[in-house]
Structure 1
Amino acid sequence: MINMAARVALRAYPPSFRERYGRELEALVEDTGAGPRAVADLLVGALRAWLHPVMPEESAERRRRRMQASVATTWVTWCAALYALPMLHFVLSEEPGLAPDLVWRLLDVAQYAMYGAGLILLVGGLALLAETSRTGNQAAWRPLVALLPTLPTWLIAPLLLAFASIDPIDRISYLIGALAVLGPAAFLITMAVTPAVVVTRCRPSVKVLRLLALSGVAVALAVTTTAIACAAALTMNTVYAAHLVTMPILAVTIAASTAALVSSGRGAKAALHKEHPVDLGGDV
C-alpha cells in the first residue's frame, strides 16, 4: 500500500516520465515500501527527471520535448534571479557607500531586464492560456492550486515579523517568526515550480511552443545580467561580512544564468529546426 507522501512524490515526476516508467516505479514502491528514505529518494529522482527529461528516439518528438524542457527551465531560472535581486539590494543598502555607483547601475539594468523578461513570460503565459481555453485542456492548470495554501503566509509575512519582534525570546513569537520566513519561502518555491509543471502538462501546440522557446533566449539574457550585477557587487566590495551574504546569492544567479543560457540555446535550436516537431494535443 502506497501512502500519501509516496503518491505525492510519484506525482512530482514529469508526465513524460510517468507515461514511460510510472507503473513500474509504482510497483517497485509497493514491493519495497514507502518509508521516509524511499520518499526522499523519489523526490530526488523527480528532480533529476525534470532536469534531464526523457527524450524519445523519434527526432521530431525529441525536439518537441527539448523545447518543452527549455521553457520550463527558463521560467525556474528567471524566478531564481528575480528572488535574488531584492536580497542583493537589501544587503548593499544596509550600509551607505558599501557599493560603488557602477554596481547600482548594473543592478538597475538587471532589474529592468528582469521586468522586461517578465512581460515576455506573461505574453507567453497568455498565449498558453488562450490555447488551453480553446482546446478545453484547462485541467492542465490544476498544479497552480498548490499556490493557495502558501499565498496567505506570503501576504501577511510583514505583520507576522512585526508581531514576532515584540518579544523575540518568547516561544510563540519564535514560531510566528519562523512561519513568516518559511511561509513566503514555500510560496516562492511553489511559484517557481508549478508553472513549469503546467507547461509540461499543457503540451502546447508547435506554434505556441516555438514562440515560448525562442522568447526564452531573451529571458536567459536577462537572467545573465543579474548574475553579472551580483558578480560586480562581490568583486567591488571589500567588506567581509557583505561577501559572506553575497556569495550564496552569486552562486544561485550564476547557476541560474548558466542553466538558462544552455537550456534556452538548446530550445531555440530545436525551434529553428526546419523539420516541424510532431503536434501532440489532448489532456494529460
Structure 2
Amino acid sequence: MINMAARVALRAYPPSFRERYGCELEALVEDTGAGPSIVADLLVGALRAWLRPVMPDESAERRRRRMQASVATTWVTWCAALYALPMLDFILSEDPLPTPDLVRRLLDVAQYAMYGAGLILLAGALALLAETSRTGDWAAWRPLVALVPTLPTWLIAPVLLAFASIDPVSYWVGALGVLGPAAFLITVAVTPAVVVTRCRPSAKVLRLLALSGVAVAFAVTTTGIACVAALVMNTAEAAQLVTMPILAVTVAASTAALVSSGRGAKAALHREHPVDLDVTCE
C-alpha cells in the first residue's frame, strides 16, 4: 500500500511524466515501501521533472509540454521570491544598523520588478480565462477550489496572533495563526501551476506565456541578487543568520526560473513545426 505522503509526492510530478511513467513509479514505490527517504527522493525527482520535463515523442506535443512546464515553474518561483522579498525587507528594517544605500536601492528595484512581473502574470491569467470562457470547459480550473478553505486562515491570522502568548492554549492559537497563512501562500503558489499544466491553450497564447516567463525570470533573479547583496553587505551576524534561509530560497528560485524560462522560450521560438493545440482543457 502507498501511504498518503507518497501519493502526494507522486502527484507532484508533471502530468507528462505521470502519463508516461506513473504506473511504473507507483509499482516501484509499492515494492520498495514508502518510507521518509523514499518520499524525499520522490519530491526531489518531481522537482527535477518540472525543471526538465519528460515529453512524448511527438515534436509539437513535446514543445507544448515544455512550455506548460516552464510557465508553471516560473509562477512558483515568482511566488517564492515575492514571499521572500518583504521578509528580507522586514528583517533589515528591524536591524539596529542602517541598511546600506546600495542594498536599499537593489531591494527597491527588485520590488518594482516583481510588481511588473505580477502584471505580466495577471495578463497571462486573463488570456487563459478568456479562452476558457469561450470554450466553456472549466475543468482545468478546479484545483483553485483549494484556495477556499485556506483563505479564512489568512484573514483571521491577525486575530489569532493577537491572542498568542506563552501559555499552552494561546501558543497553539498563535501557531494556527502562522501555519494557516503559510498553507494559503503555498496553495496560491501551487494551484495555478497545476491549472497551467492541465489546460491546453492555443499556440499563440501558450507562446506568449512562455516568452513572458523570461521577463518574470529576470524579475526573480533581480530579487535573488538583492538578497545576496543584503547578506554580503550587512555586517550584523544575527541578520545574516536569519537572512540565510531567505537567500537559499531566492537563489534556488532564480536558478529554476532562468533555466525553466529559457527552455520554455526555446520551445516557443521553434517554428519549424507549428504547435497545433486544442483550446480545450483536459
State if a TM-score over 0.5 links the two structures: yes
**Residues of 1 paired with 2:203 and 2:11: CA distance?**
26
Select the residue among 254, 266, 275 that pairs with 1:277.
Answer: 275
Spell out, residue by residue over 1:192-220, the C-alpha distance to the aligned partner (whole angstroms, 9 max, x if none). 11111100001221111000011111111
Distance 1:220 1:36, change over 3 A: closer
Unaligned runs of 5+ in 1: none
- Structure 2: gaps spanning 5 or more residues: none
- Are 2:144 and 1:147 equivalent residues in the alignment? no
Once the two structures are superposed, residues 199-245 of structure 1 have per-residue CA deviations (whole angstroms, 9 ceiling, x without a partner) of: 00012211110000111111111111111111121121111111101
Q: Could you state the TM-score of these two structures normalised by the residue count of structure 1?
A: 0.89
How far apart are 1:64 and its partner, in Å?
Answer: 1.6
Contact 2:131–2:279, Cα closer than 8 Å, also in 1: no
Q: Does 1:238 pair with 2:235?
A: yes
Tell me the secondary structure at the aligned position of residue 235 of structure 2: coil
**Local SS of the residue matching 1:55:** coil
Alignment of 1:118-129 (within 5 A): 118-129=118-129
Call closer, same or farther: CA 1:102–1:6 in 2, change over 3 Å.
closer
Give, in whole Å, the separation in 2 of the partners of 1:233 and 1:113: 17
Q: Do structure 1's residue 18 and structure 2's residue 15 form an aligned pair?
A: no
TM-score, normalization by structure 2:
0.89
Residues 92 and 32 of structure 1: is their aligned pair in 2 closer, same or farther, counting only changes over 3 Å? closer
144-153 vs 109-118, which moves further:
144-153
Distance 1:172 1:234, change over 3 A: same
How many angstroms does 1:93 deviate by? 0.6
Aligned letter for 1:68?
Q
The Cα of 1:25 is off from its aligned counterpart by 4.3
Residue identity matched to 2:202: S
Whether the 8 Å contact between 2:13 and 2:50 is mirrored in structure 1 is yes
Distance, in Å, in 1 between the alignment partners of 2:258 and 2:101 is 28
Q: Which residue of 2 aligns with 1:134?
A: 134
Q: Structure 1 residues 11-20 or 199-208, which shifts more?
A: 11-20
- Find the counterpart in structure 2 of residue 186 from structure 1: 183
SS of equivalent residue, structure 2 residue 55: coil
User: Could you give the per-residue CA deviations for residues 58-96 of structure 1, whole angstroms, max 9, x where no partner exists?
Assistant: 333222211111111110110011001110111001035
Task: In structure 2, give the amino acid aligned to 1:177.
Answer: G
Mapping of 1:202-221 within 5 angstroms? 202-221=199-218
Q: Tell me how far apart the structure 2 counterparts of residues 255 and 10 of structure 1 sit (CA, whole Å).
A: 22
